[in-house]
Each structure stands twice: as C-alpha cells, then as structure tokens.
Amino acid sequence: MKFAERYSALKPSPMLKLFMAAAADTDVAHLEIGEPDFTTELDIIDEAARAAKDGYTHYGPIQGYADVRQAVCDYWDRRYGLKSTPDEVQMMAGGVQSVHLALQALLDPGDEVITAEPCFAPYFDQIYQHQGKAVHLATTEEDGFVPTAEALEKVITPRSKVLMICSPSNPTGRVMTRGQMEAIASVAEKYDLTVLSDEIYDSLVYKGEHIPFAALPGMKERTLTMGGLSKSHCMTGWRIGYAIGPTPLIRTMTLLGANQTYGVNVPTQRAALYALNTQDDKMAERAEIFFSRLSYVSDRLNAMPGICCAKPEGAFYLFPDIRGTGKTSEEFAWGLLEEGHVATLPGSAFGACGQGYIRIACTQSMETLEKAMDRTENYVRTLKK
C-alpha cells in the first residue's frame, strides 16, 4: 500500500510519546492528562438516554439542532454578554473539529496561520493537513505568554490570513487581559486577519474574567469562537463542541462538515442542550476545586529548588519554569517520569518557546497531587545543577 507522500513522515508527537510511556507505567501519578477527572453529571447522562428513547436516533440537521444552537447563544450571552444568533453557530464533534473545518474553509495552499505559542500542539498538524503554513509566534513569560502587538506585527506577511489564540490557555493556564486582547485586535483589524479564538476553557477562570475575543469592538465579524462541553461539562468522551462566527464562514464550514461527519451525534446534542442551560452552579463548584488544586501544586513547586511557578489564572494547567534545575524540558519531564513516576509534558511540545517549562495538569484528586508533589520534590533534590 502506498500512503500519501505528504504524510509519509507522520510520527507520534512528543506529547503522544510521553502519553504512551506514562500509560505503560502502572505506578505513575498522571499530571499529563488534559481532561477533568470528574465524570459527566448523571442528569446530563439521563437526558441523552431519554432523548434516544424518545426517538432521537436518526440523522440530525447538519449544522446542529436550532434549539441546541440557541442554547449555545444563550450560554455565551448569559455568562459573557456575547450576542449571537443560531445561524452563527455550528455544532461540532468536539473543539478539534472546529479547527479543522475552519482551516479547511479559510486556507488556500501556502496561506500563513500565525500560532501564538506555546499553544495546543495539535494546531500544528491541523494547519499542515489543510496545506497552510504555521508561522510560529514566540511569546515570553514576562508578557504572560501573550503576543504583543509589536511581536505580532513583525511576523505578518502578505500571506498572513489567520491568527490562532487561546485563553484561558492550554498549556500555560494564563488568561488574557482586556488590554492584551485589544492590542491583538488592533493588529488583526489592520492586517485583515481572521482570528480563531479557542475558548474551550471559558468556565475555568480564577484571575480577572473571561472575555470572548469576539466581544471586543469590531472583532465579531472576523472571529471564530471555538468552544465545547469537554472541559466545562466534563463531557470529553461525548465529542461535543461548537463554533460561533460570521454566518458566511459558518455556512461554508457546515457544507464541508456535511462531507465529513454529516452532523453531530444526536442524543449528545440533546444532552448538550440540557447541560448548557442547567449547569452554571456545577461549573462554578468544579472551578473552585480546580483552583484549590492548582494553588496547592503551585505553592509546592515554588518551594522546590530551581522551579518557579506563576499563580493559577485559568484552565487546569500550570506551566512552571524549570530552567533553574539545569535540565531541558524534555530531560526534566522524561526524568521525572522514569525516576519519579510522575507524568507531565515538556513545555517544548507546545512550541519552541516552551523550552525550559513543563506543563502540569491538575486533573487528579488532591491525594494524587500530594503524592505527585512529594515525588517531584524528591526528584528535583536529586538533580545537580
């Protein structure tokens, strides 16, 4: 069998390699997993079962049910004041599908997509798969891992078409301020960039507030807001997300999606309708739990020699600076896994500027986090600078 030439060099990403090694170790503390440890609330599960029993077992509308799309609009209006209508929403098989369809709709071969890094690593392959060219925009911790207008402007070329941003961020856990977003918005407007704003961690903000990028003046018409229920409603396995954007873009993405998945799982959509309308208190409860876990872990890390960790801002990630230990990201993460039996991810897996950092996901119980921090402390003390 002959595979496509362009995928002949395809190999597991650094992230996947570490996931596989961690899965093979039965005594590992899993701080590499980017999904909530909580299972989906039972009332949401019941709603899906009820829908299926009521006959929601056939193909659904390709764009998603109108009432489910309305629930997405209501959620973003109620929580963040973002106004939209159901024709500006498409239901997706997870946030990952939003990126695929958006890039497919927007890119001609060779078009440039600026990735504000460190960023969610799958973006790189997704851009490649849609024949775009990733333009790696490095950020620094001093700037909160958010691109400045000057840095952004420097990488713009006549082929620049799309800018990808993410707040709260995976992997850094940082939350953009309004001022930082406004600086990016002014460049997006000046150079006519379409902004893919990944806001899948919207419900997990501990510092400041979540501001949808599309809610900034003049940004709605050039922004695709990508959200989903994986993180906010602990529904990773259900594969349900959505995109909110200008109607012509959503229309094109819907036509492309028809040839790809022909819509989204129907009982899941009905469960999402219920979940989007009823779970604000539960989301707030879980955010408190994640915040106390993140605070505990960042305090423990800051007490370790050579490690410096910012206070939690959002999502369930920390991105500590480990340069003081004298190790690279890869050496540290693999050493901690093999010698300390704690799985984390090297910051460099999220873009070259993540070198010197590791990503820690606080998606495990406090008991596991305590054990993991004891092990990490022991490991760090064995390192010679």
Ligand X SMILES: Cc1ncc(COP(=O)(O)O)c(C=O)c1O
CB burial readout 32-48, b (16+ within 10 A) else e: bbbebbeebbeebeebb
| Nearest residue to ligand X, by Cβ distance, number only | 94
Out of 13, 70, 131, 236, which residue is the one contacting ligand X (CB under 6 A)? Answer: 236
Out of 166, 184, 204, 244, which residue is the one contacting ligand X (CB under 6 A)? Answer: 166
212 binds ligand X (CB under 6 A): no
36 binds ligand X (CB under 6 A): no
275 binds ligand X (CB under 6 A): no
d(CA 102, CA 124): 14
Closest CA to 96 of 235, 200, 232: 200
Residue 15 phi, psi (nearest 5): -65, -45
DSSP count for the chain of H helices, then E strands: 12, 12
232 binds ligand X (CB under 6 A): no
Out of 60, 64, 94, 118, which residue is the one contacting ligand X (CB under 6 A)? Answer: 94
Is 205 strand, coil or helix? strand
Q: Which is nearer to ligand X, 99 or 380 (CB)?
A: 99
For 275, half-sphere exposure in the C-beta direction (CA atoms, 13 angstrom radius) is 26
Which pair of structure tokens corresponds to residue 45?
Answer: 């599960």
32 binds ligand X (CB under 6 A): no
Strands (E), the chain: 29-30, 89-92, 112-117, 133-138, 160-166, 194-198, 223-228, 241-244, 317-318, 342-343, 345-346, 358-361
Nearest-approach distance from CB 123 to ligand X, in angstroms: 8
d(CA 3, CA 384): 46
Nearest-approach distance from CB 374 to ligand X, in angstroms: 27
Residue type, position 287, single letter:
A
167 binds ligand X (CB under 6 A): no
120 binds ligand X (CB under 6 A): yes
383 Cβ contact list (under 8 Å, min separation 6): 306, 325, 326, 327, 335
Nearest-approach distance from CB 214 to ligand X, in angstroms: 16
Is 383 strand, coil or helix? coil
Nearest-approach distance from CB 42 to ligand X, in angstroms: 21
Q: Which is nearer to ligand X, 84 or 167 (CB)?
A: 167
230 binds ligand X (CB under 6 A): yes
CB 123 within 8 A of CB 134: yes
Residue 345 phi, psi (nearest 5): -120, 140
Out of 104, 170, 265, 363, which residue is the one contacting ligand X (CB under 6 A)? Answer: 170
Is 45 strand, coil or helix? helix
198 binds ligand X (CB under 6 A): yes
Q: Which is nearer to ligand X, 20 or 303 (CB)?
A: 20
319 binds ligand X (CB under 6 A): no
347 binds ligand X (CB under 6 A): no
Whose tokens are 């200008």? That residue is 246
- From residue 96 to residue 115, the character string flagging contacts with ligand X as x (rule: CB under 6 A) and all else as - is x-------------------
Segment contacting ligand X (CB under 6 A): 63-71, 94-102, 124-132, 362-370? 94-102
Out of 64, 86, 95, 212, which residue is the one contacting ligand X (CB under 6 A)? Answer: 95
- From residue 59 to residue 88, the character string flagging contacts with ligand X as x (rule: CB under 6 A) and all else as - is ------------------------------
Which pair of structure tokens corresponds to residue 179?
Answer: 């001022």
Residues that bind ligand X (CB under 6 A): 34, 94-96, 120, 166, 170, 198, 200, 228, 230, 236, 241
